[in-house]
């Protein structure tokens, strides 16, 4: 039986290498990550490896793609294989994650039903709501065997969380909803039923999202 549109178990996820999406993701990161941001050092390192000093604020998308193109060319085969393995993994256990998420929120889902997951050279991983896209680490950047798979599940849980609180009106007067979401994610994704999906990854809290009452 085909899943209803409001059922998270009907969500589809496709992995692939998308330079255009990663370029758009850079624009978001450039606007959000200042010198004082705790992730600034790793973001800067990502620039250095494609031959750009610092974080140029005036670089156009075309100029950025030109600088990144040769690096992408050097990793394309490696990352295409990485994506194929992650897609296979998702096809095997993604339905389990979605079923757990459905049981967790127990409320009709009104968000996108199709998502793209792409490897990012920027070493900071995000979702792009308008493109229904989620980034994850390059194979050479992962800290453990399950990190790339975990990162996408982490971002999907954010999607489900914000859809839920938006539909129910919960937390509407909070100014720290993103912090709440990060803490919620960590608590949920540390639970055994979820953690069994990425046994080689240790779920950790982000220090900047711990001071929530």
pLDDT digits (tens, 9 = 90+) for 49-87: 888 766 666 777 788 888 888 899 999 999 999 999 999
E-only strand ranges, 5-91: 12-15
Report strand pairing: 133-137 vs 127-128: antiparallel
Asked if residues 17 and 79 have their Cβ atoms less than 8 Å apart, the reply is: yes
List the structure tokens of 63. 């100029």
For the CA atoms of 204, 207, 208, 212, the dihedral, rounded to the nearest 10 degrees, stands at 80
Residues belonging to the chain: 213
On the question of pLDDT at 88 being above 90, the answer is yes
On the question of pLDDT at 210 being above 60, the answer is no
> CA separation (Å) from 159 to 80, 182, 185?
25, 12, 11
On the question of pLDDT at 95 being above 60, the answer is yes
Q: What is the predicted pLDDT for the residue at 207?
A: 53
From 3-17, 85-99, 162-176, 183-197, the region with the lowest mean pLDDT: 3-17
> Could you give the CA distance from residue 129 to residue 76 in angstroms, rounded to a whole number?
25
Burial (CB count within 10 angstroms: exposed 0-12, middle 13-18, buried 19+), residue 70: exposed
Strand arrangement of the beta sheet that strand 12-15 belongs to:
12-15, 114-120, 133-137, 127-128
Q: What is the predicted pLDDT for the residue at 2?
A: 41
> Could you give the CA distance from residue 3 to residue 18 in angstroms, rounded to a whole number?
28
Asked if residues 143 and 45 have their Cβ atoms less than 8 Å apart, the reply is: no
């Amino acid at each position: 039986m085909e899943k209803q549109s409001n059922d998270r178990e009907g969500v589809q996820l496709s992995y692939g290498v998308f330079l255009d999406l990663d370029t758009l993701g850079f624009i978001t990161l450039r606007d959000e990550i200042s010198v004082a941001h705790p992730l600034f050092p790793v973001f800067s390192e990502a620039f250095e490896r494609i031959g750009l000093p610092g974080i140029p604020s005036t670089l156009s998308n075309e100029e950025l793609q030109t600088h990144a193109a040769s690096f992408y060319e050097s990793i394309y085969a490696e990352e295409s294989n990485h994506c194929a393995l992650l897609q296979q993994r998702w096809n095997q256990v993604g339905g389990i994650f979605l079923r757990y998420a459905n049981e967790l929120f127990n409320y009709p889902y009104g968000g996108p039903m199709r998502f793209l997951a792409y490897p990012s050279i920027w070493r900071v991983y995000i979702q792009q709501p308008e493109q229904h896209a989620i980034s994850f680490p390059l194979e050479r950047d992962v800290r453990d065997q399950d990190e790339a798979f975990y990162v996408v599940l982490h971002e999907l849980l954010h999607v489900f969380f914000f859809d839920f609180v938006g539909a129910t009106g919960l937390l509407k007067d909070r100014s720290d909803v993103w912090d709440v979401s990060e803490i919620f994610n960590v608590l949920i994704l540390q639970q055994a039923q979820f953690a069994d999906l990425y046994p080689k990854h240790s779920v950790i809290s982000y220090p900047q999202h711990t001071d929530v009452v």
